[in-house]
Structure 1
Amino acid sequence: MAKAAKKKSAVAMIVFSQSRDIPFNRIFLSESNVREVNVEEGLDELTHDIDRREDIVQGLNVRAIIDSDGSETGDFETPAGGRRYRAIARLVQAGRFPADGLVPCLVKKANAKTSAVDDSLAENIVRLALHPLDQFKAFKRMLDGGLSKEEIAEAYRTTPRYITQRLRLAMVAPSLLDAYARQEMTLAMLEAFTVSPDHARQEQVWERICGSWQKEPWQIRRMLTETTVPTADKRVRFIDIDAYKAAGGTVLRDLFSDDNSGWLEDVPLLDRLVDEKMQATATELAKQGWKWISASVELPYGYANGLRKLTGITEALNEEESVTHEALRSEQEELEAEYSEADELPDAVDQRLSEIEATLTAFKVRPVRFDPAVISRAGVFLSISREGGLVVDRGYIRPDDEALIVADGEDRDDGAEDHALGEVDRDGVQHTVISIGGQPAHKEDEDDEAIKPLPEGLVVELTAHRTLALQNALAGNPHVAMTALLHRMVMERYHFAAPIGCMEISVRQASFSAQGKDLTETPSAKAISERYDTWKAALPSDEDALWNWIAACDDQSRMALLAHCVSYCVNAIQERPNPYGGSSPTPHSLSSRLAGADRLARATGFDMVNDAGWRPTVDNFLGRVTKARIVAAVREGAGERAASLIQHLRKGDMAKEAERLLGDGGWLPEPLQLLPATNVEEMAADGDITAMGADSDSHQTRDEEVPPIAAE
């Protein structure tokens, strides 16, 4: 025990250097200070901080200056604290601190083990910047202590927006703040969560992405605002965001984005304000006597199809407007002539030219007048432009509202005349029919006890239940399912009533954009046509009668009719694929199509030679390919000797002779050949089946095997 105590007492204890106040004019910058780059950076903020608090938070680190004899001179140098020294010097120069004022200093002891350079380096390296969360908490405590955001910003030489941004971190759920403190997310990600104040939603989003490698701030913002409307939306521009706020709407703001973007949280309120503003405009337009006004945020494509556009009369400029127009034109020409040689226009001149151009452009947009006699039969479309402006498109007449043309001397049918009018009240006054977003805009009397139509959303929900119930019932009744299938297919194939009924089934017959002259005369085409006519003669034309007829058929007839209708769905066309899809098949879908056609051919036992009666002729193949391909076809179908006999012939003669040689030999070109099942499956899986028939010279592999033939 005594030995341990003795050993412990032998350990040298640390003795800190002493502090003392030293006149500022006895302190000098040390050449040992390691900070040499950007020494003036941040001095304004530091000087301001010392000046506002009238004190320094940390004293200077100084060492006594020794003369040649090793004695202290009474002066000191500061190797650590150069920025504070320079800030105090600025205050002395500004008269805010006396030159001999006392400065708290830590005077390095004479037997210090470290050098002045070591002290300077340690002060600048061995320190840790404040964590953003700690900064936020400090600002929050200062704010709770009575300081305003502006005062805090002034104290730390920053902006109130920066203080607001840091305080905004309080909107993030505590669990997410903990995740940030554990470095599980970046500061930018944490800032993105401040878009929404809903802690439950924040935690839900974090739970979805925390395990993902994609955790970008923009993704977090998008997920948090997916049920909102951005302030850049044209509906927001149309009503003005201040109107939305005045109506009690809330806006989610992103204080950490440069564009200060925001999102409107109350979408129903936004839509109601849009409808009210559009209805107010429509009500004013209705005073002009239009029969109908259709208002919508976005008009559908082709909204005016089938309507007749009225040609109005554009109002000319009045005398005062004409004078103003000419004056502006003259001023514009004079300014452009005066500065035609200038490399750059003066700001005032450039601004004036812009104002003139805007005014002249406004003169071009003239009001259009319509004949009052036709306004009562015509209507107006209202919509919102991309920039949020109101678009008024006047003067459209629907087919039912066209005025009846009667010969001179004939009486007009009063009933027809009334049909052309809009809503007419008991006094015979026509009222404009206004619709907003496809729904009538007339406000119903709240005291009206009449039964109103069910809300559209409720109807959709109710019929969703009915749809599922019907699907389940149909799955349990194969006979009705077959009847429904046949009824739908026959109606589309024979009466072109697609789509009809509730069965979303389609029968699409492949179209042949390229076809030979003999296609309609083939046995297959004739058989299909005859079968079509036979069934047409037996099928009822009425939809309900057709259902009953199909339901009463025996199973054999139903299956025959089904096979007939399904046959129109076959598409074995081999065309040039398009890797980007569009109207043409992709390479993969083309491979699947051709593999399916071969599978269907094997399943039916179909053969192009024996069943379809196809033979190579001059018209359907031989006269439309190169001589090399003709020779290759004969070599493959009739042998090498037959091929050698036609090589010297001109192409026309060669094609005719090849037709004779191939004759009934059963030869087929590659697009008509049936590949072995294993090859088809492999090619379909690899996507190697290509449009071999896209052009007459696409079979390069076979051409290379044929000896070259001299050109004719």
Structure 2
Amino acid sequence: MKFTKAEIDAVIAASPRTTAPLNKLVLSADHQVRPGGSTSKMSIAELAASILDCGVLQNLIVIKDPRGLFEVCAGGRRLESLNLLMSNGDIPDNYPVPILIVPADKALMASLSENIFHVPMHAADEYLAFSRLLGEGKSVETVAAAFGVTPLVVKRRMKLASVSPKLMDEFRADDISLECLMVLASVDDHEKQEQAWAGLPQWNRRPDYLRQLLTQGDIESDRDPVAKYVTLKAYEKAGGATRRDLFSDDDKKAYLLDAPLLERLAVDKLSKKAKQVRAEGWKWVDVRVRYDRDEYNGHVELRKVRREPTEHEATALAELEAAMQAVQQRLDALEDMDDDDADQDDGAVYQELESEQAALQLRLKAIDDELSVWPADLMTQAGCVVHVGHNGAATVKCGLIRPEDRSAVAHVLTQGTGQTGECGGQGDMLSGPSAKVRPVHSDKLMRRLTAHRVAAVQAELIARPDVALVALTAQLAQKLFLSRDYRYHQQPQVLDVSVTDSQSALQSAADDIEASPAWLRMEAERSAWAQKLPQDLDAVFPWLLAQDQATVLQLLTVAVACSVTGIQGVESPTQRTDVLAQALGLDMRRWWTANGPSYLNHVSKSRVVEVVTEARDINVAAPLAGMKKDAAVVAAELALAGSGWLPRCLRGQAASVAATGEVGTASLDDSHSEADELAESAA
């Protein structure tokens, strides 16, 4: 039978209201729609604190019991909170509780109505209400005690209430999750909050990615190398301002707001290290917070030479080399042993020998490091830069020769006084611009960029079983039928057919890979198959036999995609993923965008200017040359927005080769994919 709200209101209006001692109230077993114990203990504690502060504001609905008791059919949370207060000694057992007595045949209806027609307060209203209480002059501790929560909870709700009203409306409409709202509340600037939320793509509205956007450029105490070097304690002791995320579980993490103070403290600390380095005999020692390659681009680098070992060192080297040879012979003997003759003890012996070999190699390296020295007569013309390294420790870049000191170094070398040791001629002591052309991208950046390209190829490949099957078949055929061709062993293979997932290699090469759309797509595919496949190894084969061919082929496609490799540290006209990229019509603009974190922060300012010139024009790029690096990166990001610009290593083989002018035939130009043409026109 369905009751209307009007009928329920009539029943309640006709029922008498009074009070009853707490020790006369019991929870009804037959007329209570909420089962006992279904409410979290934290919620009960908060309600108990509120009752202690304000009393019971809403009566409990009860029926009379033949034993003289009152059965509570609506208000079980209030009863449980009152009992908690009584057990804690905060109220007596006969505490008067306001009640509404209803007929037994209407009790269940009354209990149901209180829960059905009750509209819970929206979380946004709760945060604003807490803010108003504090605005009336109540302290955080007072409000916390009144609601049975910690002061931190009150502060967090206050912080949530301070989020932009526009974003709070979206939270009310369930367009913003609570997790994202907490991230937005971590900064006080409403405009910055709104811009960050508007900049999130619909498919990637994750709290961690939002936090990355909001804190971009901030100095994080636990991640920024200079902050780690100075230490948060020293920075705060010097009066440095900080911002802490109230919603972070790490109460030791902070955002440092005074960059000039941080750099001054770093320089002061580095100067002590510089004093020690200067005592080693170098001509000059610079102190820099960060090592900028551009500043020292015209310097020549001095190389270490190998000095003659002392008698003691020579003896130690000979003993280590003999021991290494003996261990290798024992390892070779175990490897040549037939499987029938081997036993479990041999495996343990093999592992022990490998460990012994590794220990010997470390000792050899330690002696070699001792034998590698800076030539003393050239040190007096060279210098060092003491700076903070990427690991947050003081680092020394040694052996730099200024352009004005090159003639003096050349004079020393022509006089034949330079120490050459076993390294060869005196020319081997120097390296610099005259020795080789500096590449556009560093080894680390090339690995980062090509990791993103590999991830994009994988993400494209899982939708193309035809290409995956051809790629796998081609590589197996090469190994079976063409492995005698000398070129087979010279060319790296595009697939690791032993199916080693390249996931960890991508993570190692690019620390931002996990936020990329290609990675997320592959992770979703991995997760789906991990849940679909039988967990028993022996069950996989019969399970696949029972599947249709399309399912088997799709699984093969995912396995092939996961094994795609091709990370490289050197920029070259071709990459091993080119053949797959062309077959898939790969357009890296779908998977990667040039911005500060992904590219611009990792190259010199002059390169930033070059990029904007190429993507836009010289008029747009020219003002960047007069800016500091950080400002130039921000301006470049704005200029590159929507341009679709890609570095050559991400444009694909055809586009890259044609752009360098190495190949310009009509046949190659005709082979450009539509994506390559779009990328070139955008660039």
Q: TM-score range by the shorter chain?
A: 0.3 to 0.5
Normalised by the size of structure 2, how large is the TM-score? Answer: 0.45
Normalised by the size of structure 1, how large is the TM-score? Answer: 0.43
Structure with bigger RCO (C-alpha 8 Å, 6+ apart): 2
Q: Computing the radius of gyration over CA atoms, which structure comes out larger, 1 or 2?
A: 1
